Amino acid sequence: MKEDLLSLDRQICFPLYALSRVVTALYRPILEEFDLTYPQYLVLLVLWEKDGIPLKEIGDKLLLDSGTLTPLLKKMESQKLLTRERSEEDERSLVVKLTTKGRNFKKKAECIPERLFADSGLTQEKVDRLKRSLDDLLVRLAPKLGNSA
């Protein structure tokens, strides 16, 4: 029956939405100890993988537009975690680089993922499987947004 398709229990969007809210809320007290917000933490994760990248690349990777990213980066710059500089190749582009403090902060942050799932009862194998499934879904659906993310 068609109405059954509109049952909340059949929607994939709701558990994803609810889980996003729950996980973000669980991160909040942990990240507050480090004076970080969840989006700032994500920026650091990106830069720890690849430092000195254009602002646009960070936005593309995190699905954030420059209007969201700019105030976030300004705050992180005031915390001395990173710098924003004009690109030498393209004056219109901003390059984001970690400071020594930002690079050194990685060691302190290593406990964050462990603390998040410490009492969840999830095995690493189950977390990895879930992550692969979510990544697959994201790869399939994100392109449908075009550049409007």
Residue 119, pLDDT above cutoff 90: no
Angle at 85 between CA 79 and CA 36, to 5 degrees: 25
CATH value at residue 27: 1.10.10.10
Q: How many CA atoms lie within 13 A of 106 on its CB side?
A: 16
Task: Give this prediction's pTM.
Answer: 0.87
Domain assignment of residue 22, given as a range = 2-110+120-145
Decide if 115 is inside a domain.
Answer: no
Note the helical H segments in the chain: 13-32, 38-49, 55-62, 66-78, 100-109, 111-117, 124-141
Specify the pLDDT at position 147. 57
Is 81 domain-assigned?
A: yes
How far, in Å, CA of 106 to CA of 44, rounded?
8
Residue 84 lies in a domain: yes
What's residue 95's pLDDT?
Answer: 95
Mean pLDDT lowest among 20-24, 100-104, 121-125: 121-125
Rg for the chain (alpha carbons), in Å? 18
Amino acid at 68: T
